[in-house]
Structures are given as structure tokens and as C-alpha cells.
Structure 1
Amino acid sequence: MKVFAISSPTPSLTPEVINAHMPAEVHDTVRLYLSGKVDQFWFQEKAGPIFLMDVPSLEDARAALNTLPLVASGVMSYELRPVVPLMPLARLIPAK
């Protein structure tokens, strides 16, 4: 299943906290990408990353994100939004 994971920092996420966690955060994010759990990723200014995940379930997405240092330390959370292909597109294809 495809899931958008949209990050939200907590007020306790300071530049000092980011700097302390960033080496491990980058390493673990790349690990999730190379494992195929994170398919694509983007960054939103003053908020953090957005991941398009490819996982069996929302629970798997949550478990993977919980391994990230900023999430594990409680300074970042993710809203999970499952997505599916745009179904009305089929209406554009004429029936045979």
C-alpha cells in the first residue's frame, strides 16, 4: 500500500536537537529508502520531510517511522495518509 507520511515537529525541536540527531536521522532515512519502505521523499520548509512509503500496512509504516531518531526522541511525529490510484481516470478510457 502507498502511504504519505507527513512530518510535524514539536516545539521542543530546536536547531541544537536537530544537529545532535541529524547524522543518525539521515543514516536511518537512507536505510528505509534502500529497503524500499520509503519510495520517494521531499522536504517542506519549517516542517520537515514528507515520505511516500510502500508498505504492507499502516502499522508497518508507523513501526518504520518510529525507528527514526527524531521520532524515537519525541521531537517529530508523522501523520499517515493512505493513498490509492485516482479512480476517476478510468472514465477517460472509452469502453470497448
Structure 2
Amino acid sequence: MKVFAIASPTASLTPQAIESHMPAEVHDTVRMYLSGKVDQFWFQEKAGPIFLMDVPSLEDAKATLDALPLVADGLMSYELRPVVPLMPLARLIPAK
């Protein structure tokens, strides 16, 4: 299952909190990527990362993200959006 995970900082996220959490946050993010749970990732200025995840379920995506240091400490949250291939594309291909 493919899921977009879109980060949102909480009001309590400060530059000092970011600085103190970054070593562990980066470590855990790289582990998610190397394990295959994250296919791609991007960054939104003043918002945080967006991950394209490849996970068995929404529950697995949530559990994975909840373990990240910024989420575990209530400094960031993620909106999860499951996505599927664009199904109407088949209508554009003429039947043979």
C-alpha cells in the first residue's frame, strides 16, 4: 500500500527542539528509507517532510511515524493519505 505522510509541526516545535532532536530524527528517517518503508521523501519549508511510504497498512504507517522522535515528543504530526494508481487511465487506451 502506498501512503503519503505529510508532516505538520505542532505549536511547541521550536528551533531548539529541532536542533536537539535532529540527530535521532535523521537516523530514524534513514532507517525507514533503507528498510523500504519510505520510497521517496521531500521537504516543505516551515512544515516538514513528506514521505511516500510503502507499507502493509495505514496502521503500520502510523506506528512507524509515531516512533519518530519529533512525533513521540508531540512536536510533529503526520496526515496519512492512502493513494492508488490512477484507474481512469485505462479508459484513455483504445480497446483492441
TM-score band, normalised by shorter chain: over 0.9
| Equivalent residue letter for 2:52 | L
SS of residue in 2 equivalent to 1:36:
coil
Give CA deviations for 1:46-67 in whole Å, capped at 9, x if unaligned. 0000000000000000010011
Task: Report how many residues are paired.
Answer: 96
Which of structure 1's runs of 4+ aligned residues deviate more than 6 A?
Answer: none
Q: Structure 1: any 5+ residue segments left out of the alignment?
A: none
TM-score, length basis structure 2: 0.98
CA RMSD of aligned residues (A): 0.5
Note the 1:53-68 alignment, pairs <5 A. 53-68=53-68
Partner of 2:20: 20
Report the Cα offset of residue 81 of structure 1.
0.3
Report the Cα offset of residue 32 of structure 1.
0.3
Give CA deviations for 1:29-48 in whole Å, capped at 9, x if unaligned. 00000000011000000000
Report the Cα offset of residue 94 of structure 1.
1.0
Q: Does 1:39 find its partner at 2:39?
A: yes
Partner of 1:4: 4
Give the Cα–Cα distance (whole angstroms) in 2 for the partners of residues 21 and 4 of structure 1.
23
| Equivalent residue letter for 2:73 | S
Percent sequence identity is 86
Report the Cα offset of residue 93 of structure 1.
1.0
SS of residue in 2 equivalent to 1:56:
coil
